[in-house]
Structure 1
Amino acid sequence: MYYIEVEKNIKILVEDLNPNGKDTIFFIHGWPLNHNIFEYQFNVLPKYGYRCISIDLRGFGDSDKPWNGYSYDRLSDDVRIIIETLGLKNIILVGFSMGAAVAIRYMSRYYSYNVSKLILLSAAAPSFVMRPGYPYGMTSDEVDDLIKQTYENRPEMLSNLGSIFFASSVTPSFVNWFQNIGLTAAGYATIKAAESLKNEDLRSDLGKINVPTGIFHGRLDKICPFEFAEQLKIGIKNSKLYPFEFSGHGIFHDELKKFNSTLLEFLRK
């Protein structure tokens, strides 16, 4: 575990497992979490020879928490700087939820720079909210309500989010683990990133993705409806959709064995 400076006095936490692995997977977490959500993949993938790099986005987890810099452009710039600093080549880029949106912006903004494959998990994309010609997802008012809850009672907001996050039954201790991860973020970072979720539109980014792409999405997702994945499949060339019949938004855990085996299958292609 180490830190990389992406702007003056702004450092990003990097977890680097099995640095001598044959292939590198770079993970970007979702809102309002941190890299620890991938625990149940990190337990497995290094055993198959993969180097697993994950980060805490600015404002989240153990990374620095500046007041500004939560647009998809800036977050994808941070990813680019980390990839360059570490000299990474031909990586497999994995994004979950808002992290998938950041990964898409990275692919578009930097022309897939040093990425050989893309994996989108429960992606908050191509748009998290309903727009003209896009009748899927939350309304802007519903996101505003999430932001209002964050201003007034962030633990309660996270508790409410956790109640719809997983489709499978999870224990109270697991729910506490999930909520504690969310509480490591700065409140203002949680708010500003939610504003990006509301305001950003990635539909024009999709056509710029030119690497094999796996779209993993739960049919029971109550946060990013399955229609998001169908729209991504239409918009991204050379993509394959992997539906998970019994998974909600927490696709990395709801059908854990199936998810990990399907992930390995795509990685090996």
Structure 2
Amino acid sequence: MSSNLQRDRATVARPGFIRTPDGVELFYRDWRPERAPGSEKTIVFVASYSLPSDMWAYQMTPLARAGFRCVAYDRRGHGRSGDPGGGYDYDTLADDLAALIEALDLTAITLVGYSMGGSEAVRYLTRHGSARVARLVLIASTLPMLAKASDNADGIDRASIESFQRDLMTDYPQWLAENARPFAGPRPSQAMIDWVREMALRTSHQALFACNETVSRGDFRNELRDVDVPTLIVQGGRDLSNPLELTSRRTARAIPDARLVVYEGAPHGIFLSDAARLVADIAAFAST
């Protein structure tokens, strides 16, 4: 579990920002409940591909009001964080998460990762260990492996990945406009969908392409066996981005202490379509 963090320490650079050992400033938000400060349980949120920590607003607000300390951050190249021009591999991204946890000296946390963020959370655990993590929540994750291979025949073929990358490099706003409603499902308002699209459009274009390559090449099939904390896995039954049978069902079988909850009929964007139910499930699990 060696990493740069063993040689250099992350620091709080200024209010709302930490500086990683390789010099990148990451924006974070740390919402503490008004009652019983210092005695609350801590939840750390890792955002989806292309989205900043703002995506968690409708989970963090009610959870903080319910007594949890809620911490989230913007991945490098996303939101208010620095755009360093590199470091979008899973090892570096996991080190960024470790930098946040170390700089804020967080312990006994419930670590929540959404989509790509779930893979970053698992790589954090296998690279840095679980000394600071009590529980793991994986939501609509890209785990264990999305891409098609000789030993992953049901995966997404390279042609489909390259098709998205062409859209990304030629007309990403149009791709978002066409795919936002299938992502969110019928329940969220158009205004809510527009809010998410605006966040995605502010993400570094280089980060979008590099992170997509990272996701498409990720293979956690062996790594999942090393997850040694209780794990809650949540996914929509009609997830078109990360199909349930390819991702969460296999992940639940691979992690030793895992429980899968399927939101029947729900899309990939369950943080929008099923926000209240997701809050309740996270709160119940984080309280155990």
Encode CA deviations 1:78-135: one digit per residue, 9 max, x unaligned: 1111111111111110000000111111111112241100000000111122223323
5+ long unaligned stretches in structure 2: 1-14
CA distance in 1, matches of 2:61, 2:107: 23
Letter matched to residue 260 of structure 2: L
Contact 1:248 1:254 survives alignment (8 Å): yes
Instruction: Specify which of 209, 224, 248 is matched with residue 267 of structure 2.
Output: 248
1:238 and 2:252 equivalent? no
Contact 2:188 2:272 survives alignment (8 Å): no
Encode CA deviations 1:241-264: one digit per residue, 9 max, x unaligned: 011012110111212332222222
Letter matched to residue 29 of structure 2: E
1:31 and 2:45 equivalent? no
Deviates more, 1:19-28 or 1:59-68: 19-28
TM-score, normalising length: structure 1? 0.95
1:40 and 2:53 equivalent? no
CA distance in 2, matches of 1:33, 1:174: 14
Contact 2:168 2:175 survives alignment (8 Å): yes
- 1:144 corresponds to: 162
Q: Decide whether aligned partners of structure 1 residues 172 and 253 sit closer, same or farther in structure 2, where only a CA change above 3 A counts.
A: closer
Letter matched to residue 259 of structure 2: K
Encode CA deviations 1:151-192: one digit per residue, 9 max, x unaligned: 111211222331321223332212210100101210111000
Instruction: Tell me which structure has the larger Cα radius of gyration.
Output: 2
- 1:54 corresponds to: 72
Identity %: 28
CA distance in 2, matches of 1:240, 1:18: 28
Instruction: Specify which of 18, 25, 31 is matched with residue 4 of structure 1.
Output: 18
Contact 2:184 2:193 survives alignment (8 Å): no
5+ long unaligned stretches in structure 1: none
Encode CA deviations 1:202-232: one digit per residue, 9 max, x unaligned: 1111011000000001101000011111100
1:180 and 2:198 equivalent? yes
Encode CA deviations 1:15-46: one digit per residue, 9 max, x unaligned: 10017351110000011111111111112001
CA distance in 1, matches of 2:156, 2:253: 21
Q: Decide whether aligned partners of structure 1 residues 137 and 35 sit closer, same or farther in structure 2, where only a CA change above 3 A counts.
A: farther
Letter matched to residue 17 of structure 2: Y
1:268 and 2:263 equivalent? no
Contact 1:62 1:184 survives alignment (8 Å): no
Contact 1:130 1:136 survives alignment (8 Å): yes
Letter matched to residue 172 of structure 1: Q
TM-score, normalising length: structure 2? 0.89
SS at structure 2 position matched to 1:169: coil
- 2:3 corresponds to: none
1:167 and 2:199 equivalent? no
Query: How many residues of Structure 1 are paired with residues of Structure 2 in the alignment?
Result: 269
CA distance in 2, matches of 1:160, 1:135: 28
SS at structure 1 position matched to 2:20: strand
Contact 1:111 1:208 survives alignment (8 Å): no
Contact 1:100 1:125 survives alignment (8 Å): yes
